[in-house]
Amino acid sequence: MRSAKAGLQGLFAVYKPPGVYWKQVRDAVETNLLKDLNKFRRPAPRKHIYFLPSTVEGADGKELTITATEQSSLVDHPLVSGPLFTHWKMGVGHRLDKKSSGVFVLAAGKGTKKLVDCHSAHFTRTYTVRGLFGKATDDFSDTGKLIEKTTFEHITREQLERVLSVIQGSNHKALLQLSAPLYFLPRRHYCPPQEHKDREESQPLSYLKSPAKKWTVAQSMGSDHEQPVWRGVLIGIICMAFVLWCMFRSPTELDQKLEELLMGKELEDFPPKQEKP
């Protein structure tokens, strides 16, 4: 029984049928595991020694003595203690909708600690969507109340792919817009000033015990003076790119004119004039 309990640790996948809530699948798996664990042979009940009074025939008649007897403890009896396993730690990797079906990841025992790593890994998920053209229901499902019906012979595969691409693009755009303020934009936190106790005028001011010891130059300049690191790196990259562009760009007419002016001035100065003695 202990080996079976130790083996139920880890992640596993089950199939979730449509029309069933994910919690019902989890509870059904847990119930079946508990039933199988309780079917194992139970350990032998503990024995207790009791000292019970009894009478024996003696020379003077009946005498009272104490006899040691061994009896099984009723605490370990199945009718008293009930099943050994009544709860098992189960975790859910992802929650599927009631009308969806497919792979359902579960974790048992110590395997629940791996669900965080599994969620952070961002494994690829593939979904298959099924629909019916020409009908509309109140809850957008095949079992809902029919509220509209029309023809669908004019729908082509090209039109459907165009609509799906527009939906996918809008979802990607919304994802980037929502995630940008959380991860890419700098944040500034306001720290309220700390309240200090008023000192008595008769006591001298100690520098080592005062807040001035921990005051820095950056705090004197203000929070706006502190520039983020990425801004300096960005300016350096732009300057380096400008220098490389100046070095490797193709020459223009302005460059040729400047070169002719500079070369002409150098030729006039060379050779140097010699002074007469």
Instruction: State how far the alpha carbon of 135 is from the alpha carbons of 81, 89, 127, 148, in Å.
Output: 58, 44, 22, 6
Note the pLDDT of residue 15. 92
Residue 212 has pLDDT above 80, yes or no: no
Report the pLDDT averaged over residues 244-250: 82
Lowest mean pLDDT among 31-40, 103-112, 169-178, 210-219: 210-219
Average per-residue pLDDT for the chain: 77
**Residue of higher predicted confidence among 101 and 264:** 101
Which residue numbers are catalytic? Answer: 97
- Closest-CA residue to 144 (of 155, 131, 157, 154): 131
SS3 content of the chain, % helix, strand, coil (to 5): 45, 15, 40
Per residue in 86-110, pLDDT (tens digit) is 888 888 888 888 888 889 999 988 8
10-16 β-sheet, strand order: 10-16, 102-108, 90-92
Cα separation, 97 vs 22, in Å, equals: 7
Cα separation, 163 vs 156, in Å, equals: 11
Per residue in 53-91, pLDDT (tens digit) is 888 777 777 777 888 888 888 888 888 888 888 888 888
Per residue in 128-145, pLDDT (tens digit) is 888 888 888 888 888 888
Residue 6 has pLDDT above 80, yes or no: no
**Residue of higher predicted confidence among 244 and 213:** 244
